[in-house]
Amino acid sequence: MASNRKSQEPAGGGFERPGIFRPPSERNSYFLPLTRGCSNSTCTFCGLYGAKLRMRAVAEARQEIDALALFMKHGLRIPEIDHVVYAVAQQWDGRRVFLQDGDALVYPHPGLVEVLRHLNEKFPDLERIGTYATPQDILRRTREELIALREQKLSILYVGVESGDDEVLLRIRKGVDHDQIVAAGRKAKEAGLVLSLTVILGLGGVGGSRRHVLETARVLSEIDPEYVGALTLTLVPGTPLWEDWKQGTF
Ligand code: SF4
């Protein structure tokens, strides 16, 4: 996540639809928000640093799915429904759904299963459902829970690994170390979930570059995911890493 979204936090504490941040491969998906922000808003390079996690009510998500089905099947619009729903629906190919926001896998299991079931009931021909997830989200789930999600077509997880180097992971406050990332990745794979991981080039700084690269290669080899994306570090104004860079300590 590169942009800074802290300023968009709703003043009243209610659920406000997040902006659309998604993996490139989800460009044709329907974007269904279940959360806003991220449960691990400590990563020092991320635009979600410090953002509070908000959960959307299951009933509200179900209502959006109903409205989406009405629109896709009959072209009907409900005035009370956010216009974004219809703007996204008009470009949707009907095959994939991406659950927002920073880590929708943190959503409580019973509610998540209910939303997925409802999606499948309304759109039985869905190919797959995807979401961002943190390693912590995966580790918190039981194997049976992950399998239950896969059976409801939540079959691909996009996970920001960032680095395999424990020193880097500690400094960026990722909240997990190398071994925990490997454990999370293997657990997801064993449950039959497809993994798309991202790492960030440059996160080791100049001095730590070699170790960052080697340890990151090692973490990826140990997990052996289906997909890996190597992103280039973008310094986001307002984040701690941006401050470090300005002060010359990174
Ligand atoms: S877990 Fe991901 S989305 Fe959340 S703060 Fe860290 S990098 Fe950002």
Q: Quote the longest CA-to-CA distance of the chain.
A: 59
| Cα angle for residues 51, 114, 160 (degrees, 5° grid) | 40
Does residue 217 have a pLDDT over 90? yes
**Residue of minimum CA distance from atom 8 in ligand 1:** 46
Give the pLDDT of residue 4.
47
d(CA 222, CA 181): 10
Segment 166-177 shows an average pLDDT of 97
Neighbours of 127 (CB within 10 A): 13
Transcribe 80-118 into DSSP letters: TS-HHHHHHHHT--SSEEEEESTTGGGS-HHHHHHHHHH
Q: Give residue-wise pLDDT tens across range 104-150.
A: 999 999 999 999 999 999 999 999 999 999 999 999 999 999 999 99
Query: Which one of 3.40.470.10, 2.40.110.10, 3.20.20.70, 3.90.550.10 gives the CATH number of domain 25-245?
Result: 3.20.20.70
pLDDT at 208 exceeding the cut of 60: yes
Q: What's the pLDDT at 8?
A: 41
Give the distance (Å) from ligand 1 centre to CA of residue 157.
Answer: 14
For residue 180, the model assigns a pLDDT of: 98
Q: Which of 2-16, 44-58, 161-175, 185-199 has the lowest mean pLDDT?
A: 2-16
Which atom, in ligand 1's list, is nearest to the CA of 134?
Answer: 1
Report CA(1)–ligand 1 centroid distance (Å): 7
Bridge partner residues of 159 (DSSP): 133, 197
pLDDT at residue 5 is higher than 60: no
pLDDT value of residue 3: 45
The mean pLDDT value for 171-184 works out to 98
- The predicted-structure confidence for 24-68, as pLDDT tens digits, reads as follows 999 999 999 999 999 999 999 999 898 899 999 999 999 999 999
Pocket of ligand 1 contains residue 160 by CB under 6 Å = yes
37 lines ligand 1 (CB under 6 A): no
pTM listed for this prediction: 0.94
CA 14 – ligand 1 centroid, Å: 21
Give the span between the Cα atoms of 166 and 148, in whole angstroms: 32
